[in-house]
Amino acid sequence: MLKQELRAVLIGKQHSGKTSVINTILETRTEAEGDEDVKREGIIYDRRVSLVEIPGWWITYDPIDYSNLFKLQLIRRSFLISPGPHAVLIVIRADSVFTDPDGRFMEEHVELLGPNVWPHTLVIFTRGDLMKPEDIEQNIQKEGSALKRLIEKCENKYHVFNNSNHHDRTQVEELFNKIEGIVQKNNGKHFDIDPKKVKEVNEQWEEIQTRAYSRKSRVQKERSIVKEKACVRRLEEIRVVLLGWVLGGKSSAGNTILNQDEFAIGGKTRECTRKFGDVDGRKITVLDTPGWWKYFASDLNPDFIRSAIIESVSECKKFPPAMLLVIPADTAFQEEQKRIIEQNMFILGDDIWRHTIVLFTWGDRFKNISIEQHIESEGEALQWLIEKCRNRYHVFDNTDKKNRDQVTELLQKIDEMAAENSLFHLNTKKNCDSETSHQRNDTDEDLNIQIRLKDISHFLDEGFKRKAEEIRRKIEKLCLDILDLNLQDSQSMNYPIDLDQDKPPDSHRPLQVTSAPQKDNMPEPIKTLMEREFSRWESLIIDGVQESLQDIKSSFDLSQAEKRKKSEDAVERWLQNYNHYVQHTIDKIQDTESGIRPKRRKLY
């Protein structure tokens, strides 16, 4: 006779080891997640075990900035083990650094299931064979750490797994005992997900699937009509311009097109960068432009962004232009993104949309989910953008550069777009005059966000210093935790960080920043927007630095001094661009204050 069934969902970051945990429990060897094995079952120790793996995230953004599809999947998959899970297993790699952003995101993400989820949660540390038990315990007990707070939220329930040893069944027995303890403490009850929420999500999902199928069919039909009516010829020479917000995947997309690492990832981009290649027998020029702020209005963009974009587009006069508007596929796209993109594209004139394809990057973030489902789930803002570009969109998996089919198909779409359009003519004077007139006629005073530019400059400077100090401390902790390196010495504590945009990284400069003003007197609307923008940078910088440090750590042929130098260079490479944007934005605001532009403008 079978014992009581155990049901659990597994939540965690990508590559945290969720699939390995399931393999260890069920004694299977599944390599990757797919729709067909989202729910996996087996008979273990005379009981039926049902496990569901929730899609993981890559970067720990604010949950508000993750796509609707990402949030829908959490509810949908959790309900696959009806009537509900006995345990929610939070999977964390024991050998990774668990940062404050990781902790904030994890808490908000788990609570999407409901506010009463924590009594049913348990943390599983994977790769336990790479860490000493006392080191794991020490990380948990660090006062004030994000990991300690998370464990306390889980009522101090955690377990360590060695996924490399699937034959060790003791660890599975101990995990089952802990899950049974959760069941007993909750009076034998499983965790109930609000049935109204589940019904609403399922209905929404069905509607999304229907609209996604309709969109895909319509786009295929439109492409067929173009091929029939227009003379679609294979262009032998193409110039591609990459547009979009900063750190959105433009450089990675350029590298994927050219099939080589031509553009630096995470480095400083001040001017238009041109790289050349031969792709499918065609001459391809890729122009990478500096990205604009994601959440701030185009008024606050540093001047070098506008100049670089106009220069890039101007070069396309003699060639069929292809503007690739790059947007991460796993990111929420709301009305504010629509408005900001419209502002930034405005300088190129309305004609630019006929020559633009929306290129979704990070297509690997959602396996077995179509881009049409993402478009339909996000709502009217993203659908407006796609329609504005005449239903031209494409998806890249930049982690799979060997997949040349995705590049070939993009070039085919560029051929079709060129067949429909004449050459693009840019009239920057007309556009600039129109933009100035548009700004001067703007009298919208809603929400209290009208504010003098000099105040924005002050708060931007103050907010940057605070966030830079936070990032510096977290990077130092990463260096200590990963490499056992302290990038500070006792004589460097009083020196400011020196990130001159015209100098290459210098490993001998101290990684410190001046202390920031402590008085918190920022207006709430500005504070909220700045926190979203700066937190996005923080997540990307910390993630990029951590990946660099892990690579350095695995380089056994490097001396301690060489590891230190490479670590400091990696830190500066990521921080330079951050400092570069903020300082140029502040300079622009200060110049504007003394110029002819009005002193009161919307922040976003």
Whether the per-residue pLDDT at 138 is higher than 80: the answer is yes
Q: Which of 110-114, 339-343, 494-498 has the lowest mean pLDDT?
A: 494-498
Give the whole-angstrom CA distance, residue 393 versus residue 417: 11
- At residue 593, the pLDDT reads 58
Q: Which residue has the higher pLDDT, 556 or 118?
A: 118
- At residue 158, the pLDDT reads 94
Backbone phi and psi for residue 251, each to the nearest 5 degrees, phi listed first: -65, -40
Give the pLDDT band of residue 502 (cuts 50, 70, 90): very low
Whether the per-residue pLDDT at 341 is higher than 90: the answer is yes
- At residue 561, the pLDDT reads 81
Whether the per-residue pLDDT at 250 is higher than 70: the answer is yes
Give the pLDDT band of residue 178 (cuts 50, 70, 90): very high
- Half-sphere exposure of 238 toward its Cβ, with a 13 Å CA cutoff? 32
Q: Which residue has the higher pLDDT, 377 or 45?
A: 377
**One-letter amino acid of 395:** V
* Inter-residue contact 276 to 284 (CB < 8 Å): yes
Give the pLDDT band of residue 150 (cuts 50, 70, 90): very high
- At residue 445, the pLDDT reads 37
- In order of start, what are the domains of the chain with their CATH numbers? 3-193 (3.40.50.300), 202-437 (3.40.50.300), 446-602 (no CATH)
- At residue 391, the pLDDT reads 94
Give the whole-angstrom CA distance, residue 274 versus residue 437: 33
> Token pair 């039926």 is at which residue?
48
Average pLDDT, the chain: 79
Which of the residue ranges 9-23, 204-218, 220-234 has the most confident prediction, judged by mean pLDDT? 204-218
**One-letter amino acid of 27:** E
Q: Which residue has the higher pLDDT, 596 or 470?
A: 470
Question: Percentage of the chain with pLDDT > 70?
Answer: 80
- At residue 596, the pLDDT reads 44
Whether the per-residue pLDDT at 7 is higher than 50: the answer is yes
Model confidence pLDDT, tens digit, residues 69-91:
888 888 888 888 888 899 999 99
* Cβ-count burial 7-46 (b if 16+ within 10 Å, e if not): bbbbbbbeebbbbbbbbbbbeeeeeebeeeebebeeebee
Q: Which residue has the higher pLDDT, 55 or 494?
A: 55
- At residue 422, the pLDDT reads 57
Give the whole-angstrom CA distance, residue 88 versus residue 18: 12
Backbone phi and psi for residue 144, each to the nearest 5 degrees, phi listed first: 80, 0
How far apart, in Å, do the first and last CA atoms of the chain sit?
Answer: 64
Q: Which of 229-243, 410-424, 437-451 has the lowest mean pLDDT?
A: 437-451
- At residue 532, the pLDDT reads 81
Tell me the mean pLDDT in the region 119-124.
Answer: 95
* Inter-residue contact 406 to 397 (CB < 8 Å): yes
Question: Percentage of the chain with pLDDT > 90?
Answer: 28
Which of the residue ranges 187-201, 313-327, 525-539 has the most confident prediction, judged by mean pLDDT? 187-201
3-state secondary structure of 530: helix
| Chain centre to alpha carbon of residue 27 | 33
Q: Which residue has the higher pLDDT, 3 or 487?
A: 3
Enter the tokens of residue 363: 């297509």
Model confidence pLDDT, tens digit, residues 560-602:
788 778 877 777 777 777 777 777 777 777 666 555 444 444 4
> Token pair 């895909």 is at which residue?
216
Q: Which residue has the higher pLDDT, 159 or 115?
A: 159
pTM listed for this prediction:
0.81
Q: Which residue has the higher pLDDT, 524 or 288?
A: 288
Tell me the mean pLDDT in the region 292-301.
Answer: 85
- At residue 249, the pLDDT reads 87
Minimal CA–CA distance to 271: which of 319, 317, 303? 303
* Inter-residue contact 314 to 307 (CB < 8 Å): no
- At residue 541, the pLDDT reads 80
Tell me the mean pLDDT in the region 154-166.
Answer: 86
Enter the tokens of residue 401: 């550069």
DSSP annotation of 86 reads: S
3-state secondary structure of 483: helix
- At residue 456, the pLDDT reads 67
Give the pLDDT band of residue 455 (cuts 50, 70, 90): low
Tell me the mean pLDDT in the region 206-218.
Answer: 95
DSSP annotation of 288 reads: E
- At residue 411, the pLDDT reads 94
Q: Which residues contact 433 (CB under 8 A, 6 or more apart)?
A: none
* Inter-residue contact 100 to 148 (CB < 8 Å): no
Q: Which of 224-228, 251-255, 355-359, 412-416 has the lowest mean pLDDT?
A: 224-228
Whether the per-residue pLDDT at 500 is higher than 60: the answer is no
Give the pLDDT band of residue 423 (cuts 50, 70, 90): low
